[in-house]
């Protein structure tokens, strides 16, 4: 039993350390975005916003010793990028945390589960292992959905500001940089993605490829349509400002239609809570006195 407890403590510490590393990296990125979006920020601040530190930290060196095939899953890597964890060691850290949490929960179940019946004991262990293996996946998927929804909500404001900048005579690259600076506080996620585009174009990448990378990092369908509109507009010589203005109006119309659709389905979704909680209470209040009166009437006879 002491060996099991020692292994449990080691795995718990490793899992907490990995989670702390991921959380610290995310906080660092957010602080960099807020600092670069400050009124007095220079262009150099924007160019270094997404640069990664060289792998000299203790956690990074430890993660480098994990099996490299842990980072070979392209779907997991894509999901982590959509969730905002786009570091080179993020897939390895995710898999290490997943294995550590699974092993810790299994050891907990082996230590504290009732051992009177072997089948019940085995069921506890299997359930703990399944929860430990699936919980990190659920968290990453949930984080990706939340992040995509934030990007989707921030697109209309970003497009309006882009239209204003472009129609004022600013080039698209300068407009992206300006929008990223102004959107750093209300919409930090989209601002960071625009800063990545600016950095890639400054490094010599074609604007078309940099814009396509925006959709690959976010996974939002509206962003893909926006990139397609911009690329096609530049290809055929259409005004970028007009393209963005029309697409911004389309986005707002689609958001209004989606809100109307949710409002129309609200009565159907309310049937279950009404049937489970409200109708029984109303029935109890209405029929309760009747039942009591009838009971007293028959009791007198």
| Domain end (from 146, 178, 201) | 146
- Is 180 part of a structural domain of the chain? yes
- The yes-or-no verdict on residue 120 having pLDDT over 60 is yes
Kindly compute the dihedral angle of the four CA atoms of residues 232, 234, 236, 237, in this order, to the nearest 10 degrees: 150
Q: How far is 147 from 80, CA to CA, in rounded Å?
A: 11
**In a shared domain, residues 218 and 125:** no
- Is 298 part of a structural domain of the chain? no
Sign, CA torsion 103/105/110/116 = negative
**In a shared domain, residues 27 and 133:** yes
**In a shared domain, residues 140 and 201:** no
Q: What is the pTM of this model?
A: 0.70
Percent of residues, the chain, with pLDDT higher than 90: 6
- Tell me: the pLDDT tens digits for 155-209? 888 888 888 888 888 888 888 888 888 888 888 888 888 888 888 888 888 888 8
Nearest CA to 181 out of 172, 169, 190, 171 is that of: 190
Q: How far is 66 from 240, CA to CA, in rounded Å?
A: 47
Written in H, E and C, the secondary structure of 277-290 is HHHHHHHHHHHHHH
Average pLDDT, the chain: 78
DSSP code at position 206? -
Domain total for the chain? 2
**In a shared domain, residues 161 and 107:** no
Range of the domain at 35: 2-146
Contact 198/171 with Cβ under 8 angstroms? no
Give residue 112's pLDDT band: very low, low, confident or very high (50, 70, 90). Answer: confident
All residues at 6 or more sequence positions from 150 whose CB lies less than 8 Å from its CB, including other chains = 187, 189, 190
- Is 140 part of a structural domain of the chain? yes
């Amino acid at each position: 039993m002491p060996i099991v407890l020692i292994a449990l403590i080691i795995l718990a510490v490793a899992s907490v350390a990995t989670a702390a590393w991921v959380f610290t990296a995310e906080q660092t990125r957010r602080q960099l975005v807020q600092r670069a979006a400050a009124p007095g920020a220079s262009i150099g601040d924007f160019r270094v916003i997404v640069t990664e530190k060289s792998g000299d930290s203790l956690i990074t060196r430890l993660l480098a010793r994990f099996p490299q095939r842990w980072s070979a899953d392209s779907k997991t890597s894509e999901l982590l990028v959509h969730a905002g964890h786009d570091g080179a060691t993020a897939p390895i850290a995710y898999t290490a945390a997943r294995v550590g949490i699974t092993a810790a929960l299994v050891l907990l179940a082996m230590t504290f589960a009732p051992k009177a019946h072997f089948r019940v004991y085995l069921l506890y262990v299997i359930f703990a292992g399944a929860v430990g293996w699936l919980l990190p996946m659920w968290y990453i998927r949930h984080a990706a959905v939340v992040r995509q929804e934030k990007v989707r909500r921030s697109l209309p404001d970003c497009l309006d500001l882009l239209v204003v900048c472009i129609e004022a005579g600013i080039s698209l690259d300068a407009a992206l940089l300006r929008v990223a600076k102004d959107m750093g506080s209300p919409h930090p996620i989209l601002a960071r993605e625009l800063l990545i585009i600016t950095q890639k174009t400054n490094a010599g990448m074609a604007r078309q490829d940099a814009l396509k990378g925006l959709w690959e990092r976010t996974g939002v369908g509206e962003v893909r349509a926006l990139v397609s509109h911009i690329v096609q507009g530049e290809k055929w010589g259409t005004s970028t400002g007009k393209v963005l203005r029309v697409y911004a109006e389309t986005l707002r119309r689609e958001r209004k239609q989606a809100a109307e659709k949710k409002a129309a389905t609200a009565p159907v979704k309310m049937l279950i809570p009404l049937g489970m909680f409200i109708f029984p209470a109303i029935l109890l209040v209405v029929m309760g006195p009747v039942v009591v009166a009838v009971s007293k009437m028959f009791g007198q006879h």
